[in-house]
Each structure stands twice: as C-alpha cells, then as structure tokens.
C-alpha cells in the first residue's frame, strides 16, 4: 500500500531523475555525466581497446558495439538489477509473501535471482521471473524497484564513474577499458555512493528490526542523504579544503548544487526543485518557512499535516501516520482538505488521480507538464514576463524623465 500510494506517481519519477542526476554530477563531474549519454564517447573510451577492438560480449557471443548494447550487457551482468535481489527481497514483506506462494520453489527462486547478479549467469532477473510464473507478483509488489528512473540513474552512475576512473589515470588511461577490474569496481562504487543502497548492511541497527522497518519506511533515503553529504564534507576537511583536490571538488559541487536547488525551491514552491531538495536542506528550508514565513509558507512547512508547534515531527514520522492524520482532519471538520487532497494519498495510484483531477480543472492555471512532472513551466514564464514588463516600465519612466 505504501509503495503504490507514495511512489506510484509521475512526480516521484521526475524528482528521482533530478536528484539522481545531481548526485552523479557532483561525484563524477558534469562532463562525465554528459559524456555518459553520448554513444561515441562510451564506445571510444570504454568499449574498445587501444587498437580499436571491442572488448565486451553479450551472452549470445555478440560484441558490444554501442551504448544501447552496453546497457543490455549491464543488465545481463546484473549491475542494474542487483539492488532488487540485494534489497527488496530481503525486507519487502508483501513481496516475500508473494514469493512464498511458490512453496518449495521459493528458495530456488531466491537462489536463482541471486545467481542472476553474478558475472557468469546465463539468465537475467526478467527471465527468472517469467520462468517461475510470478511476473504479476513482482509487478504488483516490486515493480517500482525496476522502474524507469531507477534504471536511468544507476546506468548513468555506472558509466559516469567509469569515465571518471579512466580520466583519473591521465595519459595512462588510454590503456584501460571496461575489461579492467579497476574501471569496473570504481563504476560499481559510484552506484553505491550516489544512488544509495537500501539493504540491511547499509541500515542502522534499529532500522533492521521489524518495527524499525515499519517506522523508517522511506526514511532511509534521508539517512543516506545526510550521511553522504557528511562524508563529502569530512573528506574535504581532511585535505584542508584545498582547491584542486578531488575531495574538495566533490564537496564544492554537491554543496553548490544543493544551494542552487534550495534557491529554486524557494522561488518555485511545490515544483520539482522543492520536492527534490535533499535532506537536511529541506528540513532547513521548512524550519525557516515555519519560523519566518508568511501564512502560506507556515501552513506548507513540513507538509502542513501537524499543528505548527509540533510540525517538525513530520520529518521523523512513518508513512503509516498518514491514516491517523486523515482521521484527525475528519474529526476537526477539515473536509475540504480531506476531500481535495488527503483521500488521494490513501489508496494505490491516488496521486495520479489527483494530478489528473487538477489538470482537468478549468480553474487550474497549471498545465499537464506542471501537474504530472512538477516542472514549473508556467511559473518560469510568468517570472520572465514580469521582468520584461518591469524593464519596459523603467524604460518608459527614463524617457519621461529625460524629456
């Protein structure tokens, strides 16, 4: 229920793409991030040796000759899908129950899934799911974890950091490619650093318990976000924040990206920048709105679900708390908020219904792109138009004064 209500919406996909790209750029650099999407760069730097020979082959024996085939190769090797086997099968109870219906074959299924992430596996995860006949179960309970944005972010992270590893070798980099263990392991480390892993070995002790998993569902991202920013700061500090060191550059790029996003979030509330602002900066912003903002900003701080004196507690409350909150709205008589928004957060795919309803509302000035993908097109257009009008007025005033 939590998966389908909170995550099954287009806004989550967009903000996930934005946040993942920001982390990749900060860690591997903007140039490597852009180059990771360019077929010619991937082929020349990663897929061929110094003599121009292709170095990778897919399981059917064909050479990997372009970026599309390289992504297929990564899927076959389990690089993109291994987080599914390592994470959700271990603690997603609904998914475990669905797999448990296989009976004695459930252990064989999990064994085969984990084998699929190994280098010499003859099957990928999709093949195994189809072979055991539980495609519907995986789609219902685990489909989110193989969705478009997660695959894009992990693919970009792998290729970007592979390019960065090759670049770090300087003039000697021409002698290495994806067959080199150093390049491969660094690329894997890039996924771990920038896209966060959610299995038990990356969780604090309390989060690994049954109660901890319930109370911290979807909160581990906040923990990992704070942790990786602290780690970037710690490493930059060890080098005395000296310009030119890779550690300082990573910290500086990530900090500037966060500050840029925070500025845009303040200018365009409820947009992609607002929802993609990573912890702890979103907590800082909400605290500032709560203490110093106008009535509208105070009401929206920390999602506006709790009374103002205890609003910051929302940052630590589990998703299941949405249901008692809805009951409080009904008891207090806040029917408009409940019927307009809250009820759509309590059933699967409700947020898609809410976005559709807003798009069809004739009084709603926002368009399809803004409602479904949180890209503030109309707000940006309004601000540009306003600046043009101010410039025209100033020019007119200057002409009058000159006369």
pLDDT tens, 38-87? 999 999 999 999 999 999 998 888 999 999 999 888 887 777 655 445 44
Q: What's the total number of domains in the chain?
A: 1
| In a domain? residue 54 | yes
Any idea which of 145-159, 341-355, 376-390 has the lowest mean pLDDT?
A: 341-355
Whole-number pLDDT of residue 60: 84
pLDDT for 160 beyond 90: yes
Helix or strand holding residue 23 (H, E): helix 10-28
**What are 59's two structure tokens?**
């399981």
Are the beta carbons of 37 and 168 closer than 8 angstroms? no
Q: What is the pLDDT of residue 135?
A: 57
For 175-202, write each residue's pLDDT tens digit: 999 999 999 999 988 988 888 766 566 6
Phi, psi of 335 (to 5 degrees): -70, -35
Q: State the average pLDDT for the chain.
A: 80
Map tokens 């989060």 to a residue.
207
pLDDT at 114: 61
The pLDDT assigned to 137 comes to: 59
Return the higher-pLDDT residue of 149 and 33. Answer: 33
Residue 59 located in a structural domain: yes
pLDDT of 141 strictly over 70: no
Domain assignment of residue 121, yes or no: yes
Burial 53-79 (b: 16+ CB within 10 A, else e): ebebeeeeeeebeebebbbbbbbbbbb
Q: Residue range 260-271: average pLDDT?
A: 87
The length of the chain, given as a count of residues = 403
| pLDDT average, residue stretch 280-286 | 90
User: Which residue intervals of 93-245 are DSSP H helices?
Assistant: 93-100, 105-115, 125-132, 135-142, 148-168, 181-194, 210-215, 220-238
Q: Which is more confident, 1 or 69?
A: 69
Q: Confirm whether 274 is domain-assigned.
A: no
Give a yes or no: residue 270 inside a domain: no
Closest CA to 92 of 55, 34, 140, 159: 140
Task: Using pLDDT thresholds of 50, 70 and 90, give the confidence band for residue 345.
Answer: confident
Distances (CA, A) of 75 to 177, 213, 224, 260: 18, 29, 25, 34
| Residue 75 maps to a domain | yes
In 3-state terms, what secondary structure has residue 54?
Answer: strand
Picking from 44-48, 104-108, 156-160, 300-304, which range would have the lowest pLDDT averaged per residue? Answer: 104-108
Across 30-34, 115-119, 319-323, 324-328, least confident range: 115-119
> Is residue 310 in a domain?
no
Predicted confidence at residue 271, as pLDDT, reads 85
Phi/psi of residue 307, nearest 5 degrees: -55, 150
Statement: residue 359 has pLDDT above 50: yes
pLDDT category of residue 340 using cuts at 50, 70 and 90: confident
Select the more confidently predicted residue: 129 or 223: 223
What backbone phi and psi angles, to 5 degrees, belong to 245? -85, 145
Q: Is the pLDDT of residue 269 over 50?
A: yes
Judge if the upstream peptide bond of residue 280 is cis by omega within 30 degrees of 0.
yes
Domain that holds residue 175: 2-204
Q: CB under 8 Å to 194, separation ≥6 — which residues? A: 20, 23, 24, 26, 27, 28, 153, 157, 161, 228
Q: What is the mean predicted confidence (pLDDT) over 318-329?
A: 75
131, 124 Cβ separation under 8 angstroms = no
pLDDT at 321 (0 to 100): 75
Specify whether the CB–CB gap between 51 and 311 falls below 8 A. no
Average pLDDT of span 290-299: 86
Q: Inform me whether the pLDDT recorded for 360 exceeds 70.
A: yes
| Range of lowest pLDDT (126-130, 141-145, 207-211, 341-345) | 141-145
Indicate if the pLDDT at residue 142 is higher than 60: no
How much is the pLDDT for 91? 43
Residue pair 342/327 in contact by the 8 Å Cβ criterion: no
- What sign for the dihedral angle of Cα 65, 151, 10, 259? negative
Q: Is 369 contained in some domain?
A: no
Whether the pLDDT of residue 90 is over 70: the answer is no
- Per-residue model confidence (pLDDT) at position 196: 73
């Amino acid at each position: 229920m939590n998966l389908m209500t909170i995550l099954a919406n287009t806004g989550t996909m967009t903000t996930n793409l934005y946040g993942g790209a920001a982390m990749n750029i900060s860690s591997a650099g903007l140039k490597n991030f852009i180059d990771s999407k360019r077929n010619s760069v991937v082929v020349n730097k990663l897929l061929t040796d110094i003599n121009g020979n292709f170095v990778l082959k897919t399981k059917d024996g064909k050479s990997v000759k372009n970026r599309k085939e390289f992504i297929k190769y990564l899927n076959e090797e389990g690089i993109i899908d291994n987080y599914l086997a390592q994470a959700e099968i271990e603690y997603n109870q609904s998914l475990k129950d669905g797999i448990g219906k296989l009976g004695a074959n459930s252990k064989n299924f999990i064994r085969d899934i984990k084998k699929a992430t190994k280098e010499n596996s003859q099957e990928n995860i999709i093949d195994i799911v189809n072979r055991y006949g539980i495609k519907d179960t995986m789609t219902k309970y685990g489909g989110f974890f193989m969705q478009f944005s997660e695959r894009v972010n992990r693919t970009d992270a792998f290729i970007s950091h592979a390019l960065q590893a090759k670049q770090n070798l300087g003039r000697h980099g021409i002698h290495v490619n994806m067959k080199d263990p150093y390049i491969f392991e660094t690329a894997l480390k890039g996924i771990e650093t920038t896209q966060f892993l959610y299995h038990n070995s990356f969780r604090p002790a309390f989060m690994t318990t049954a109660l901890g998993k319930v109370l911290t569902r979807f909160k581990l991202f906040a923990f990992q976000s704070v942790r990786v920013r602290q780690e970037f700061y710690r490493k930059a500090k060890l080098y005395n924040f000296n310009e030119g060191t890779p550690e300082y550059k990573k910290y500086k790029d990530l900090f500037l990206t966060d500050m840029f996003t925070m500025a845009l979030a303040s200018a365009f509330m409820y947009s992609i920048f607002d929802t993609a602002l990573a912890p702890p900066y979103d907590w800082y912003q909400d605290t500032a709105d709560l203490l110093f903002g106008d009535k509208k900003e105070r009401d929206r701080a920390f999602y506006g679900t709790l009374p103002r004196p205890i609003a910051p507690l929302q940052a630590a409350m589990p998703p299941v708390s949405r249901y008692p909150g809805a009951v409080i709205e009904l008891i207090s008589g806040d029917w408009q908020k409940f019927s307009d928004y809250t009820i759509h957060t309590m059933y699967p795919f409700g947020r898609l219904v809410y976005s559709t309803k807003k798009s069809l509302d004739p009084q709603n000035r926002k368009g399809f792109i803004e409602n479904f993908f949180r890209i503030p097109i109309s707000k940006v257009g309004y601000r540009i138009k306003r600046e043009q009008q101010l410039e025209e007025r100033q020019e007119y005033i200057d002409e009058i004064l000159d006369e």
